[in-house]
Every structure is written in C-alpha cells, then in structure tokens.
Homo-oligomer: A and B are copies of this chain.
Amino acid sequence: MKYAEMTAVELKNISREETLVVLPIAAVEQHGPHMPTATDTIICTAVAEQVEQNLKESVLLLPTLWLGASQHHLRWGATLTSRVENYETLLCEICESLLDDGFRRVLILNGHGGNIGPMQISLRRLQVHYRNCQLMTASYWSIAEQEIASLMEGECKTVGHACEAETSLVLHLRPELVRESKIENFIDYAPDMIDGVYLCNDMYQRTQKGATGRPDLASAEKGEQMFSAIVKRVTEVIATLSKNALSE
C-alpha cells in the first residue's frame, strides 16, 4: 500500500495493529565526481518500492524523505542538509503524525550513512511517549549485509559513499545518471573508526574527491544482482516485523 496514493478514508480502514508503516529516508548530497546527488534517494526509494510490491498487504509505504543529515558533506558543496539535531526532530514529527493516527508499527528504512545516528535518536526521543508501539530503524545494507558483501569484489565489503555498491546499483537503476568517465579507484580514504575510536572528521577531510571505495569495479550487472538480493532480504526481514507481538 502506498500512503501517498490512498485517500483518507482508505487509510482509516487499514489495520493499525498489523500494518507496518515504512518511511524511507535518504539524502541529496555530493556523491563524488561520477554520481548524482540523489544517489542515496534513488537506491533507497527503489528498494522500498520493490519491497512494498512484494508485501502489498502488510506494508504501508510513505514517500521517501530525500533530505538527510549531511552536514559532513557541506564543504564539498552540492549538498542539502538539515542540522543533525533538527533532523531528529523532523523524523520525530513524521512518525508522530503516524503514531497519533493510531499506527503501531513504524520502520524508518534508511539509505544514507549519516542518518543512522539521528534516526536512532529520534526513535529514542519518541519511545518514552509511545511505549506500546514498535519503533524500528534499519539501513538497507544493515539488513542485507551478507548479500551485499558476497557481491563486492573490492577490498571493502560494505556500502560506502559513491562506492562499488552504490555505483553498481545506480548503473542498474538509473544508468544515464552515472558519469562513467569520472570513475576512479577511491579506496584511499580515511576511516572514521580506528581502534574503537570514532574520529569525527568530515568528508572533505576523509576523502580526496568526496567518494570512497572501488566504483571502478562497479557494473550494471552487479547492480542488478545486488538490488535483487537486497530486495529479497529486506522483504524477508520486513515480512516478519509485522507479525511480531506488540507490547501493551
């Protein structure tokens, strides 16, 4: 079910207990020299829409919030962002609209690394007020971690920024938006976690050109396989979430 396409009367009639509302969130931010700023939004939306197709009865899909918490990209320009604390508030308020309307299962499905912290915190801010609801977040790559890793050829097996995975996925989903001539090996970037310490540097400090990983190993075929694997796994996991018992 697609929230945006339904009427108020139809939305009123669906089960608050059994329906899982999915809010996809992503970003519009610089993605290196070869990828469009909407990269995260394109991927996350495609995953979410396909999952909804697979679970039409139990999933209620919201439109993708393309705005992300992207302050750490600002120095590269080409980045739209909210302050991170206000992004938390924004997510809280969208969820409150749903929870106050009676829905009891909400999943924020994320496609941008910078959103992980604020999205988890937004649910913590809400949880003390909505204790009988199941509030959840996940990034598509945290659900499909193994599926993605098994398809990555480069040394990095997780989804980075404008990397082998993201580039492959967009080559599959929107090939005309990838500037293939600009692709390089961007594996030489600084991690933000060393020896268990989080180093809070921005992407201007951590990368040479605003991208990470091995987009030079990307391909549309790999993207297609990866997309299928992600959708399959996210579908499986989400299917169980709307069947879990709710707290009273």
Residues of A in contact with B (beta carbons under 8 Å apart): 3-9, 11-12, 28, 30-38, 41, 62-63, 65-67, 69, 71-72, 74-86, 88-90, 93-94, 97-98, 100-102, 107, 117-118, 120-121, 123-128, 131, 134-139, 141-145, 177, 179, 182, 195-202, 205, 210, 237, 240-241, 247
Task: Decide if A74 touches B97 in the complex (CB within 8 Å).
Answer: yes
| Contacting residues, chain B, for A76 (C-beta < 8 A) | 8
The CA of A41 and the CA of B82, in the complex, are separated in Å by 21
Q: Of B3, B41, B120, which contacts A4 at CB under 8 A?
A: B41
Sample of 15 further A-B pairs with CB below 8 A, known A9-B182, A82-B90: A3-B78, A4-B36, A4-B66, A7-B32, A7-B33, A7-B34, A63-B66, A81-B97, A82-B93, A84-B121, A85-B85, A85-B89, A123-B198, A136-B200, A205-B247
Contact B5 A177 (CB under 8 A): yes
A202 to chain B, nearest CB (A): 6
